[in-house]
Structure 1
Amino acid sequence: MDMLFDLPEPETPEQAVIAHYRLSDAQYGSRAERDAIFDAERAMSAAVERAGVGEVDGNEFGGGEAVLYAYGADAGALFKVMEPTLRGLPFRPAYVVLRRGNRGTESRVEL
């Protein structure tokens, strides 16, 4: 069969580390809590960039929760770089979802 186009090979699915923290109120938490999340996000972004394992892609606040998002080729390697900072945040309960491959392959780590 003749091919009209050279189609690129499918890319490796992007993996994710998604960290969830309960805040002190039912909305956006205190200013100090938001500042702590922003500081942790900056620290993890620098560490992830230095390690070359992906990128920290932002945060989301609301409903009494803060969520941090990071993406890369290997969720385990990404989490290993981020873990010290994630565990250093004082907000509990907290957990991290490691998404490997597609949405159907997830594991949860309690912090």
Structure 2
Amino acid sequence: MDTLFDLPEPETPEQAVIAHYRLSDDQYGSPAEREAIYDAERAMTSAVQEAGVGEVDGNEFGVGEAVLYAYGANATTLFKVMEATLRSLPFRPAYVVLRNESREAESRVDL
């Protein structure tokens, strides 16, 4: 029996908060910009874990943009926990995508 395909389905659908920030160049941003993103990611990881609403799952840098990913049972609740830190980052333009159970159920929040 191959247990790889016998994984249980999650009890609640996973929702996402995906934050996009424009950086100062067309590549990976400056070292100071990357450090600010890492600091914010650490702060949000602590806040999200303390609130018990999901997990911050990492970042991507490239093509002049930084993207932060977080997942949980409720995107709106997750965003509320992360919002102050997301808004504190100075990089603009910036926006957050709140993704519900399916990609068709997305909303955008400009920061």
TM over 0.5: yes
Cα pair distance change 1:44/1:14, threshold 3 Å: same
Identity of aligned residues (%): 81
Cα pair distance change 1:9/1:85, threshold 3 Å: closer
Residue in 2 aligned with 1:94? Answer: 94
- Which protein is bigger by CA-based radius of gyration? 1
Give, in whole Å, the separation in 2 of the partners of 1:62 and 1:85.
Answer: 21
Q: Deviations over 1:87-106 (max 9, x none)?
A: 00000000000001111100
Moved over 2 A (4+): 8-12
TM normalised by structure 2 equals: 0.91
Residue in 1 aligned with 2:3? Answer: none
TM normalised by structure 1 equals: 0.91
**Aligned-residue RMSD, C-alpha:** 1.1
Residue in 1 aligned with 2:67? Answer: 67
Written as runs of structure 1 = structure 2, the 5 A alignment for 1:1-111 is 11-111=11-111
The aligned length equals 104
- The alpha carbon displacement at 1:10 in A equals 6.2
Amino acid corresponding to residue 37 of structure 1 in structure 2: I
Give, in whole Å, the separation in 2 of the partners of 1:45 and 1:10.
Answer: 22
